Chain A
């Protein structure tokens, strides 16, 4: 059971917008920055978003992140078939003094 809760799967058509939620609590999302990772099949995860909404160099602006209270959201616009992947949220948990991941969300681009 993950400390952070994500929907197991989401789907949308090419060109559409999709949002993936990540729900936590006060000692984790409520108190710390959130990061998001994309994991394409058979590959290592890649950092998409850090500090709730910042994109590393090279990440297109189709990917955006936000945080409100104890929840965070990753949004992807202009969906492409190449966006089909697993997406994970992550943050620090101040009560555990440890990093925590969400359970992951599988994105299907129909």
Chain B
């Protein structure tokens, strides 16, 4: 079955860049789906970060658009999140997920999430 696994540093200093990887296993990343990142600050709700297609096309949350870049490496079956100039407000659990082929906001497979803390 398809599985997603996030990885990346658990601690990032303020003003630095947060970089996360989502590894897709059990199927090709280039099989007609798009891929998304969502985050959740402690005790808070879900926040959609953005979506990336294997073509490289992207959509971003307007509140993060100036700082975020999503990308895909089909040869490695991975997709990526880069968030620049982080602050403590970017501390959260970051999830990667697969976007259903039939609906824009149907995230049918999720990673377990990775906790990122922004602190000096």
Contact = CB atoms under 8 A, between A and B. Distances in A.
B103 A104 contact: no
Nearest to A57: B108
A50 B106 contact: yes
Interface in B49-106: 50-51, 59-62, 95, 100, 102-106
Contacts, number: 75
A8 to B, nearest CB: 10
B44 to A, nearest CB: 8
Contacts of A99: 36, 48, 51, 59, 61, 104-105
Chain B contact residues (Cβ within 8 angstroms of A): what range?
A: 20 to 34
A49 B72 CA distance: 27
B45 interface: yes
Contacts of B106: 35, 47, 50-51, 56
A102 B47 CA distance: 9
Given A35-B105, A96-B62, A98-B59, A44 B46 contact: no
Interface stretch (B14-22, B25-33, B109-117): B109-117
Nearest to A100: B48
Contacts of B95: 44-45
Contact of B102 (A32, A51, A101, A103): A51
A97 to B, nearest CB: 6
Q: Which 7 interchain pairs have the tightest Cβ spacing?
A: A50-B106, A99-B48, A44-B110, A104-B45, A101-B46, A92-B104, A90-B105
Interface of A: 2, 32-35, 37, 39, 44-47, 50-51, 56, 86, 88, 90-92, 96-104
Given A46-B110, A99-B51, A101-B48, 11 more contacts: A33-B103, A35-B106, A44-B95, A45-B38, A50-B108, A91-B104, A92-B104, A98-B62, A99-B59, A101-B38, A102-B45
Interface of B: 36, 38, 45-48, 50-51, 59-62, 95, 100, 102-108, 110-113
